[in-house]
Chains A and B, each alone.
Chain A
Amino acid sequence: MNIINENCIALLEEADTAEEGIVIAGEVLKSQGYIKQSYIDAMLKNFETSGPYFAIAPGFAMPHARPEDGVIKSGIGLITLKSPVSFGSANDPIRIIMTLATSSDDEHLQFMSKIAMLLGQKQMIEKLYECRTAEEAALLLNDNQEKEN
């Protein structure tokens, strides 16, 4: 199973605020039929209510909401930002946003263990940021995962 669809990746996007970044990173999933608009709204609401805790590593944020907030099918979206933005986190400035949408608990667990394994690899975030095409970024994520399995 590929962890990411190449069409859900957009590189060097322009956002002025954390909210704009979350919306762009949500749109890539929405445009490919993974989530409804309500899921993007829920991610923004979660940011407003609970703060930037999902900025889990230097330069990297992983916004998400609940399956019932509008997930059509499980997937992840990935964007890199041309100019990093502040999320008000210790891990600022954020330059990579990975949106996470999972539709069931089982799938969620599978996805999360793969993502945890990928992100745990040394320099993964730097390598992602250096990708210049969506194809390159998709290969980096999907290939590494296959090797590990």
Chain B
Amino acid sequence: MKILAVCGLGMGTSLILRMNIEEVLAAEGVSAEVEHSDASSANGEKCDYIVTTREIAGSLTNPQGEIIILDNFIDKDEIRKVLKENKIV
């Protein structure tokens, strides 16, 4: 399973999100490949899920994975909740 954390520049925000997703997955004992990227590189990039903000989700023209929208990138309880809702953990 591959999860892509996506933000505008693919540097700051998506990296924080990626680290937090990795932490939640590790705590839940789920192994997955997590990468981070900017919105334009995310288009066409093969993956199972894309986790991003509402604004970025709307700008993706060719997403290859199921899109998961997240408002809070630092609250691990919220990240766990959306990963659970999507049956990832």
The residues in B between 1 and 29 inclusive whose CB is less than 8 angstroms from any CB of A are 7-9, 11-13, 15-17, 19-20, 23
How many B residues face the partner with a CB closer than 8 A?
Answer: 25
Evaluate whether A54 and B74 lie within 8 angstroms (CB atoms) in the complex, with A112-B12, A116-B19 already known. no
The residues in B between 23 and 60 inclusive whose CB is less than 8 angstroms from any CB of A are 23, 39, 52-56, 59
Tell me if B62 counts as interface (CB < 8 A to partner A).
no
Closest Cβ neighbor of A60 among chain B residues: B74
Check if B16 sits within 8 Å of A115, measured CB to CB: yes
Taking CB atoms, residues of chain A closer than 8 Å to B56 are 50-51, 53
Check if A62 sits within 8 Å of B55, measured CB to CB: no
CA distance A65 to B21 in the complex (A): 23
Check if A119 sits within 8 Å of B74, measured CB to CB: yes
Check if A53 sits within 8 Å of B19, measured CB to CB: no
CA distance A119 to B76 in the complex (A): 10
Selected A-B contacts with CB under 8 Å, 22 pairs = A50-B9, A50-B59, A53-B52, A54-B13, A56-B72, A57-B72, A57-B73, A60-B74, A62-B13, A62-B16, A89-B53, A90-B53, A90-B54, A90-B71, A100-B12, A108-B15, A109-B15, A112-B12, A112-B16, A112-B19, A119-B16, A120-B74
Known contacts A50-B9, A56-B13, A56-B74; can you find 7 more A-B pairs with CB under 8 A?
A: A50-B56, A50-B59, A57-B72, A62-B12, A115-B16, A116-B16, A119-B74
| Interface set of B (CB-CB < 8 Å, partner A) | 7-9, 11-13, 15-17, 19-20, 23, 39, 52-56, 59, 71-76
